Amino acid sequence: MMRQAKSLGGHRAQRGVALIMVLLVVALAVALSTSIAKRQSEAIRATSSHFNRQQALFYARGGEEWARQLLAQDFEARPNWDGPIDPWMARDLVYEIEGGSITLWIEDQERFLNINQWTGSASQADASLLSAQLGLDPLWIDELIDFADIDQTPQPLGAEDYHYLGLEQPYRTSSQALVHLSELRLLRSMTQEAYSRLSSSVVALPTGMLPLNVNTMPPSSIMLIAPEITPEAAEAVALSRDEQDGFDTVQAFLALPEFAGLNLGSFPLGVQSSFFKVRVRVDFLDQVVFLAALLYREPSSGKISVLHRSLNEPFALPEPSVEEEDI
C-alpha cells in the first residue's frame, strides 16, 4: 500500500511539473506573441508616418507649383506691373486637401534692399543710412565687403580669413555674394539682435542693385528712399498706396504730398518685380512640412525658375488682415 501511495504521489508530482512547464510555455508564447505584435504595430506606425511625410512633401512641392502658376498668370494679365491687388499677394491662400491643408505665402523680394549690392563696388552710403536707421554699429558693412570679396586685404574695419580661421570653430570667408541671408551671422561683429533687425529690412539676391518696387515696399524701405520722412508719414504713404491699389508709375508714387519738399535718395525705383520668396506650410494628418523657395521671373518673357529651395525650416505665416477676414 505504501508503495502504491508513493507511486500515486510521484505521478501527481510529475503531472504538476508538466502542468507548470505547459503554463511556462504558454506564458512564453503569449509574451513572444505580444512582443511580435507590438513590434509589428510600431513598424506599421513608422511606415505609415514615413508614407504620410512623403505625401506631405509632395503636397509642399505642389504648393510651390501653385505659386508658380499664380505668378505666371499675373505676368500674363499685367506683365510690367506688380502691386497690392495682385492675387499672389493675398494672405489667405489656403488650399484644403483630404487630411489637411496647404498654406501659401508669396512675398515680393524687391520690397527690400538687396544686401549683395554692397558686396561689390556700390556706394556704402546707403548701407550706412540703413545701419543708422536700424540703430546698428556700422562695423558689419566693412566686414560684409571682406567676407564676399576674393582678396585677403581687409577693409579699415573689416576682417579676412586670418580672423575667422583663428576662432574656436574656424571657417573661411565665402569670397562670393551671399546665397542666404543667414550668412550674415558669420560676420565678426554680427550679434543675434543685430541680425534680427537687419534681416527684417534686407534680402539676399544673386545680383547687384535692384529697383525697389514702390507698390510693395514697407514703411521701413520708404524711410530709406526718403531719409527725412517721419515714421508716421511713411506709414501714411503705405496706407494711401494700398487704398489706391498701387501706382502705375514711380512718378505718381513720388507725387504723394508726404514727399513734398523732401530730399530723396539715389535708390532706383520701379513698379515691377522679378524675385519672389515662396513659403509653403503643409498640415497633413500627423505631419507638418515647411518649404521655402526663391523664384525668379524673367521680366521680359515671364519664364519662372527656382533659384534655391529649402525644406523643414519652420517659419510663421502672416495672419490674414482684418479686411481679408471680413470679405
State residue 44's pLDDT score: 61
Compute and round to an integer the Cα radius of gyration of the chain.
32
Q: How far is CA 44 from the centre of its chain?
A: 33
Please enumerate in sequence order all residues whose Cβ is within 8 A of that of 235, keeping only pairs 6 or more positions apart, or say none. Answer: 219
Q: What one-letter code names the amino acid at 305?
A: S
Is the CB of residue 205 less than 8 Å from the CB of residue 238? Answer: no
Top-tier CATH class for 115-200 = mainly alpha
| Per-residue model confidence as pLDDT tens digits over 34-86 | 777 677 666 666 667 888 999 999 999 999 999 999 999 999 999 999 999 99
| Per-residue model confidence as pLDDT tens digits over 131-168 | 999 999 999 999 999 999 999 999 999 999 999 999 99
Percent of the chain past pLDDT 70, that is, above it, reads 85
Question: Does 53-111+273-326 match 115-200 in CATH topology?
Answer: no
Q: What is the pTM of this model?
A: 0.83
Q: Which long-range contacts (CB under 8 A, 24 or more apart) does 315-318 make?
A: 315/279, 315/281, 315/290, 317/103, 317/105, 317/279, 317/281, 318/91, 318/105
Tell me: pLDDT of 327 over 50: no
For the beta carbon of residue 319, count every other beta carbon within 10 angstroms: 10
CATH topology of domain 53-111+273-326: Pantoate--beta-alanine Ligase; Chain: A,domain 2 (3.30.1300)
Determine the Cα–Cα distance for residues 203 and 292; give it in Å rounded to an integer: 14
Sequence-ordered strand ranges (E) for 19-170: 93-97, 100-108, 113-114
Q: What one-letter code names the amino acid at 296?
A: Y
Is the CB of residue 108 less than 8 Å from the CB of residue 270? Answer: no
Pairing between β-strand 212-213 and β-strand 269-270 as defined by DSSP bridges: parallel
Domain positions in the chain are: 53-111+273-326, 115-200
State residue 323's pLDDT score: 46
Would you state the cell numbers that stand for residue 78, as one nine-digit string? 499685367
| Per-residue model confidence as pLDDT tens digits over 263-273 | 887 889 999 99
Would you state the cell numbers that stand for residue 300, as one nine-digit string? 521680359
Length of the chain: 327
Tell me: pLDDT of 322 over 50: no
pLDDT: which is higher, 115 or 40: 115
> What 3-state class would DSSP assign to 269?
strand
State residue 243's pLDDT score: 96
- What sign does the dihedral 184-190-191-196 (CA atoms) show? negative
CA angle 169, 175, 178 (to 5 degrees): 85
| Per-residue model confidence as pLDDT tens digits over 252-302 | 999 999 999 998 878 899 999 999 999 999 999 989 999 999 999 999 999
Per mean pLDDT, which range of 47-56, 109-118, 175-184, 195-204 is the poorest?
47-56
Q: Is 246 exposed, middle or buried (0-12, 13-18, 19+ CB in 10 A)?
A: buried
